[in-house]
Each structure stands twice: as C-alpha cells, then as structure tokens.
C-alpha cells in the first residue's frame, strides 16, 4: 500500500455558525491539502468530530469528498466504534468509490482486554472489502493496544495493512518496528514524534497540523523518508510550539483556529467542543504566521 507512505491528514469537518456542515469550507480544505501535496486524506477520523455527526451527514461527507477529489488523491475512511457488530456492518456495506482503506480506532469506553481488541479487529477486517488500518490512541479510548496484540493481528489477519500509533510509547513503537512483517505499515499518529518514528521505520504520519500546514509538513516527511533527518530537523523544531498550541484546548479547536486565520474555513465546532480561548488564539496566530511566511 505505497499510496499510504508519507503524509496523510486527518481532515477537519468545517461547520457554519448554525452548526451545519460547511461544504464550501470543506471543498477549500480538500483543495488546500491537495495543493499542499499531501499523499492522502483521512475522512471522518476523530479530528473530523465524527462523534457529533449523524450517519446521514457522514455519508454525505464521504460522497462529497469523493466528488471533489475526483481520484486526484487516495482517500481513507474513518469507520470505528465500540460496538463490534455495528462496525462490522458498516465496513461490510461501505461501497463509496474513491476510498482505498479504512481507519478503525480501538474500541473506546468499553475497555476490552487484549483478546477482546484482537477479536474486534479480526471480525472487522474479515468483514471489510477494504484493508483496515488499526488506530491505537489510548488518550481517547481509555485502553492501550499492546505491541503484542498489534503484531498478532499483523501476522494472523490478512486484511490489516498497518497501524496508526498514537500511544506515545516508544517501547510500543520499538517493538512493532522491530518485529512487524515487512509490508505492515507503522504510521505515526502524533505530529511531534513523526521524525523519530520515521527514523525507527515508520512510513509517515496521519497528521492534525497538516490541515493548516500541509506543504510544510509533507516536505519535512519526504526529507525524513529520504533519510535526510538533519535537513528535516529545522522543520521538525519549527512545528513544536504550533503543535502544542493546537492541542492545548482540545483537537480540532486549535487547528481550526489556525485554518480560520489562513482563510480556509471558520473555527466553529460542535458541542461539547468549543473554540479556543482568546489567549490561545492570539498565540496560534503568531505561530502560523511564522510557518506560512
């Protein structure tokens, strides 16, 4: 799955002031990412505020993005949850053209043990017509998928292409990188550790900050993948404060604030998320101006 090497972006969902989906803003976001030369787009990940979108809205967004991209860039669909039977049905029935894989998060809230995580993903992967990318993000799910479980899935379940790793654990990163099958993708799920993870053997990043700075981020990732880590360091360090601010008051509130400053989309969110405070917004304005000048 070489199309998923490099920079993927977990795309935001722009909203209007009344809470409806802003399709003009969504089109501008898609075009911004394509012009920024990212390798692929993830639609309906957690950054998209997918938990607050109805099934009808999700379907409409999936369809709209397919129409706008028009095969210009690979797409990955976010389809995950904590009801295995529901997710099995969702992936089994997903037939929207233009999508090449499914990103599916570790079941949240239920807190299954490692065997439960394994059986959940096995059932989802066997039901899906598209390959599955695992997503380990304990900060959101409340449970960590161990390296052992990831490797067990990698070796035993054919329709799993890799893992988006956002555990923050370099022990987990190291174990996966050292023992994974050759064609199993290890993808960073945290912007600040992209460079060191690629140095360990990761194939790239699924990014949040890339919504705002796709060209700058994807250039850095390409340098990393080419082995030019010294050349990538300046960009890596330049993103640190911007990234911290983007997550300081919740994702995607921070990156939407930056996107508003750039004129891509507004910074409206759906409750329970709210806009960043004025103080954080002012700091984001300073940092984004440094990155795009």
Reply yes or no on whether 135 is catalytic.
yes
Q: Which residues contact 222 (CB under 8 A, 6 or more apart)?
A: 6, 7
Q: Which is the catalytic residue, given 40, 135, 256, 260?
A: 135
Q: Which two tokens stand for residue 220?
A: 């850095």
Of the candidates 201, 204, 200, 227, the one whose C-alpha atom is nearest the C-alpha of residue 214 is: 204
Of the candidates 36, 38, 14, the one whose C-alpha atom is nearest the C-alpha of residue 24 is: 14
Q: Which is the catalytic residue, given 99, 108, 121, 164?
A: 164
Strand partners, 205: 7, 188
Q: Which residues contact 289 (CB under 8 A, 6 or more apart)?
A: 261
What whole-number distance in Å separates Cα of residue 83 and Cα of residue 89?
A: 10
The residues that are catalytic are 135, 164
């Amino acid at each position: 799955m070489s199309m998923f090497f490099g920079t993927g972006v977990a795309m935001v969902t722009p909203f209007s002031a009344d809470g409806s989906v802003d399709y003009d803003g969504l089109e501008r976001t898609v075009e911004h990412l394509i012009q920024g030369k990212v390798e692929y787009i993830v639609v309906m990940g957690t950054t998209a505020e997918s938990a607050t979108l109805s099934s009808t809205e999700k379907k409409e967004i999936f369809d709209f993005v397919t129409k706008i991209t028009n095969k210009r860039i690979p797409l990955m669909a976010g389809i995950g949850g904590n009801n295995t039977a529901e997710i099995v049905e969702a992936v089994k029935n997903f037939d929207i053209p233009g999508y090449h894989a499914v990103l599916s998060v570790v079941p949240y809230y239920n807190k299954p043990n490692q065997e439960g995580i394994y059986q959940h993903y096995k059932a989802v992967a066997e039901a899906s017509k598209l390959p599955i990318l695992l997503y380990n993000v304990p900060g959101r799910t409340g449970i960590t998928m161990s390296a052992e479980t990831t490797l067990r899935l990698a070796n035993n379940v054919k329709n799993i292409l890799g893992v988006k790793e956002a555990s923050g654990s370099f022990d987990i990163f190291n174990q996966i990188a050292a023992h994974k099958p050759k064609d199993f993708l290890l993808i960073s799920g945290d912007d600040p550790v992209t460079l060191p993870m690629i140095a360990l053997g990761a194939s790239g990043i699924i990014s949040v900050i890339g919504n705002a700075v796709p060209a700058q981020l994807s250039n850095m990732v390409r340098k990393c993948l080419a082995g030019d880590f010294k050349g990538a360091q300046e960009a890596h360090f330049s993103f640190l404060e911007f990234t911290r601010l983007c997550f300081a008051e919740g994702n995607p509130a921070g990156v939407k604030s930056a996107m508003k400053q750039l004129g891509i989309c507004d910074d409206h969110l759906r409750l329970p998320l709210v806009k960043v405070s004025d103080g954080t917004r002012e700091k984001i304005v300073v940092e984004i101006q440094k990155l795009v000048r």
